[in-house]
A and B are shown apart, each in its own frame.
Chain A
Amino acid sequence: MLLNTYTDSLDFNALTQWIDQALSSVMPAWGVVLTECILIGLCLLLGYALIALALIYIERKVCAFFQCRLGPNRVGPYGTVQSIADMVKMLIKELITIDRVDRFLFNLAPYIVIISSVLAFGCLPFAKGLEVLDFNVGIFFLMAVSSIGVVGILLAGWSSNNKYSLIGAMRSGAQMISYELSIGLSLMTMVVLAGTMQLSEIVERQADCWFLFSGHIPAVIAFLVYLVAGTAETNRGPFDLPEADSELTAGYHTEYSGMHFGFFYLAEYLNLFIVSAVAATMFLGGWMPLHIAGWDGFNAVMDYIPSLVWFLIKVGVIIFVIMWFKWTFPRLRIDQLLKLEWKYLLPINLLNLLLMVIIVVTGLHF
């Protein structure tokens, strides 16, 4: 199709190739690989931290508006510097060592959580030509690395030597293992439609029509299931049982202080970003602009918006919906939570997968 010849007004391929050539001219091949790895790592971590800071500010503002308050408004214009001030505070706080805990596991747990989240972050296709890890099992790899985070939460809960932490960790384990099933199945439904698991390919195939529209009924069902399961997977309200503050103080990270607590906090917000980004990539076309077959003028106008902006807008909309969930619904009980997954979402998902296979085999999709 003609639409596949979309060229980005903000091309990252040229930039990365220029860096590669500049480095190759001054050092041997292994040095280039090493320097590029370090550069990419630095950029990822920087992006990770900046997105987390922005999300914390957005969350506080959105929460405030839902509750008819103003939210942070003292530090900087409209309180925008508030989360940076909080970050500085977090960085200079003391790391308190708890008496009679398994020191090694206690200190290790936040790192496992954050490594899993950074790895998943690295898989995301941010814009045309701006993706770090692009395996042909892309989406599967993303799910695999994000499933490691549970280990960190369980270890944190156990090694804190505190019953609230332990209960929080147990709840979190049960919840995340259950809802991973729903996430996996709803993404598998979309993989059936896409015919590939490579994230860059998945985005390319949505050039003419986003999967949410081209897969019609099963795609919409999968999208709704994914949103519910994704909210549960990030331990956010109304599924925030692992850290239900009114019953468990702060759940699995009660005993953590300073930057170790900061890691859990960062990972939580970044997981929100990752879940939304995956939803945007699998259902709403990732960084692909909105194209309607036949409307060439409209498509040309849409192409003027850079792909990074498209990606961030789509992710932002989904993040807002998930925050809307949190501040609208009351918290579920643990039995309701597990019943929702095993008795409703899982059967719906399995039937939906079957429906999608039938539609793809008979060619009823657009």
Chain B
Amino acid sequence: MEFTLEQAGFAFLAAVIVIFSIMTVTTKRILRAATYLLFVLFATAGIYFQLNYSFLGAVQLLIYAGGIIVLYVFSILLTSSDEDKKAPLRNRRTLSGLIVSIVGAVMCIYLLLTHCYPPVLFAEGEVDMHAIGYAMMGTGKYQYLLPFEAVSVLLLACIIGGLLIARKRK
């Protein structure tokens, strides 16, 4: 098998994702965990760009890296102090946790190994922006206006609920 530049890029991104995912859950400092997660999200966006799906890559950067991570860091700044990183986790449920994660890992690996993948192709050219727009805003089959609106109503309900809880009653 020939080793191309694309495969080298993919191998690099995959390695970054795996290493930083592990570091995210093993680090003891919460802000470092958020930063490692940021790297994982960058690498995921990199894979989307490699697949020539620049819209999804840009969305990944804007929503996850620029939005969600900023919110995480912001809420960590507001709530936690330096002492938090010193508190060790309680290990009462090590055994059950271990069993659940092993079962999960076995299941994932089994599915990955038995699934029959179609031959991998890097699509030529970018996805047309107008096609994405019609798919998101259309009402026909395989078009997503209704789910999109349902999710935005849910989000609005969450915002109002959050405001109600956070509001100081006099």
CB distance A151 to B73 under 8 Å?
yes
B58 touches A173 (CB 8 A): no
A135 within 8 A of B: yes
Bound CA span A322–B53, Å: 35
Q: Point out the residue from B32, B59, B73 that lies within 8 Å of A144, measured CB to CB.
A: B59
Does any Cβ of A come within 8 Å of B17's Cβ? Answer: no
Q: Is there an interface contact between A136 and B5, defined as CB atoms closer than 8 Å?
A: no
Are B65 and A147 touching (Cβ within 8 A)? yes
CA A141 to CA B55, docked complex, whole Å: 8
A265–B77 CA distance with the chains assembled, in angstroms: 24
Scan A100-116; emit 1 where CB is below 8 A from any B CB, else 0. Answer: 00101100100000000
Q: Is the CB of B62 within 8 A of A105?
A: no
| Residues of chain A at interface, number, CB under 8 A | 33
User: What 1/0 mask marks residues of chain B from 58 to 92 whose CB sits below 8 Å from any chain A CB?
Assistant: 11011001110110011011100000000000000
Within 8 A of B (CB), among A164-210: 166, 169-170, 173, 177, 180, 196-198
CA distance A135 to B54 in the complex (A): 7
Cβ contacts under 8 Å, A30 to chain B: 4-5
How far, in angstroms, from A196 to B126 measured CA to CA in the complex? 14
Query: How far is A108 from B39 in the complex, measured between Cα atoms in Å?
Result: 12
Given contacts A136-B54, A136-B128, A140-B55, contact A173 B70 (CB under 8 A): yes
A137 close to B55 (CB less than 8 A): yes
Shortest Cβ gap from B53 to chain A (Å): 10
B69 to A: closest C-beta gap in Å: 6
Contacts of A147 in B (CB 8 A): 61-62, 65-67, 70
For A220, the chain B residues whose CB sits under 8 A away are none
Q: Are A150 and B66 in contact (CB under 8 A)?
A: yes
Q: Which residues of B contact A104 (CB under 8 A)?
A: 32
Q: Given A102-B29, A155-B31, A170-B77, A143 and B62 touching (CB < 8 A)? A: yes
By the criterion CB–CB under 8 Å, are B61 and A155 in contact? no
Chain A hits for B32, CB < 8 A: 102, 104-105
Complex CA distance for A102 and B28, rounded to whole angstroms: 12
Interface flags, A26-43, vs B, CB<8A=1, else 0: 000010011000000000
B38 contacts the other chain (CB 8 A)? yes
Min Cβ gap A33→B in Å is: 6
- Give Cα A137 to B74, complex, Å: 28
The listed residue (A34, A136, A141, A169) touching B77 by CB distance below 8 A is: A169
CA distance A187 to B61 in the complex (A): 18
B58 and A135: CB pair below 8 A? Answer: yes
Asked whether, in the complex, the Cβ of A137 is within 8 Å of the Cβ of B38, the reply is no
A148 CB within 8 Å of chain B: yes
The contact of B126 among A136, A144, A157, A159, by CB within 8 Å, is: A136
What total count of A-B pairs have CB within 8 Å? 83
Assess whether B35 is in contact with A154, with CB atoms less than 8 Å apart.
no
> How far apart are B42's CB and chain A's nearest CB, in angstroms?
8
Q: With a CB–CB cut-off of 8 A, which chain B residues contact A102?
A: 29, 31-32
Give Cα distance in the complex from A137 to B48, angstroms.
13
Instruction: Please determine whether A154 and B74 come into contact, CB atoms closer than 8 angstroms.
Output: yes
Q: In this assembly, does A23 line the interface, its C-beta being within 8 Å of a C-beta of chain B?
A: no
Give chain B residues whose Cβ lies under 8 Å from the Cβ of A273. Answer: none
CB atoms of B66 and A154 under 8 A apart: no
Cβ of A256 within 8 Å of any chain B Cβ, yes or no, is no
Task: Decide if B67 touches A151 in the complex (CB within 8 Å).
Answer: no
Chain B residues contacting A145 (CB-CB under 8 Å) are 61
Q: What residues of chain B lie closer than 8 Å to A140, measured between beta carbons? A: 55, 58, 62
Q: Which of A78-136 contact B (CB under 8 A)?
A: 102, 104-105, 108, 135-136
Query: Would you list which residues of chain B between 103 and 152 have a CB under 8 Å from chain A?
Result: 126, 128-129
When the two chains form their complex, are residues B35 and A105 in contact, meaning their CB atoms are under 8 A apart? yes
Complex CA gap A140/B32 in Å reads 28
- In the assembled complex, the Cα of A155 lies from the Cα of B77 at a distance in Å of 9
List B residues at the A interface (Cβ < 8 Å).
Answer: 4-5, 29, 31-32, 35, 38, 54-55, 57-59, 61-62, 65-67, 69-70, 73-74, 76-78, 126, 128-129
Chain A: residues with CB nearer than 8 A to chain B?
A: 30, 33-34, 102, 104-105, 108, 135-137, 140-141, 143-145, 147-148, 150-151, 154-155, 157-159, 166, 169-170, 173, 177, 180, 196-198
A to B CB contacts below 8 Å, 27 in the list: A30-B4, A30-B5, A33-B5, A105-B31, A105-B35, A135-B58, A135-B126, A136-B55, A136-B128, A137-B55, A137-B58, A140-B62, A144-B58, A144-B59, A144-B62, A144-B65, A145-B61, A147-B61, A148-B65, A151-B69, A151-B73, A155-B73, A158-B31, A158-B73, A159-B31, A169-B77, A180-B66
Given contact pairs A104-B32, A140-B55, A170-B78, a sample of 19 additional A-B residue pairs in the complex whose CB atoms are under 8 Å apart:
A102-B31, A108-B35, A135-B126, A137-B129, A140-B62, A141-B57, A141-B58, A141-B61, A144-B66, A145-B61, A147-B65, A148-B61, A155-B31, A155-B73, A157-B77, A158-B31, A158-B76, A180-B66, A197-B129
